[in-house]
Structure 1
Amino acid sequence: MRALLGGIADLKVLDGVLDISRHTDQIHRLGKRPVPDPDRGSLATTIAMVRRNGRTSFRAKRGGS
C-alpha cells in the first residue's frame, strides 16, 4: 500500500498526519472511556479521521497550495 501511495503523495506528510490523528483518537477515547487502544492501526485511524473531518482531512492547510 505504501508503494502505491508513495507515487501520488509524500509519505512523510501522510505519516505525520496519521500520527497526529492517532494521538487525537486516543484523546477522544480517553474522554469517553478510561482505556486507550495502543494497537489501533493506520486504517482505523484514517477512517476515524475522515469521519471526523471529512475530505478536508487531506487538504493542505498551511504551506501548501
Structure 2
Amino acid sequence: MKATLALLFSLAAVVMAAPNASPQGIQLPPRCGGANECRNWCSGRIPYCEPYLDYSSGNRCVCSN
C-alpha cells in the first residue's frame, strides 16, 4: 500500500513538472482601433475591426471572404 502511494505521488510529481506545450505557428490578427488599420492585413478584402472571438484580447482585424 505504501509503495503504491509512493509510486502515485512520484508519477504526479513528474507530470506536474513536465513543461506545458504551447501552440506554435498561431498568428492572431493585429489589434485595431478602426477598419482603416486593417487594410494591409486584409490585402484586398473588406476590413472590419471587431471584438475578437475570445472577447478578452480587444478588437482585432477581421476580413470578409
Name the larger-Rg structure. Answer: 2
More strand as a share of residues: 2
TM-score (norm 1): 0.30
TM-score (norm 2): 0.30
More helix as a share of residues: 1
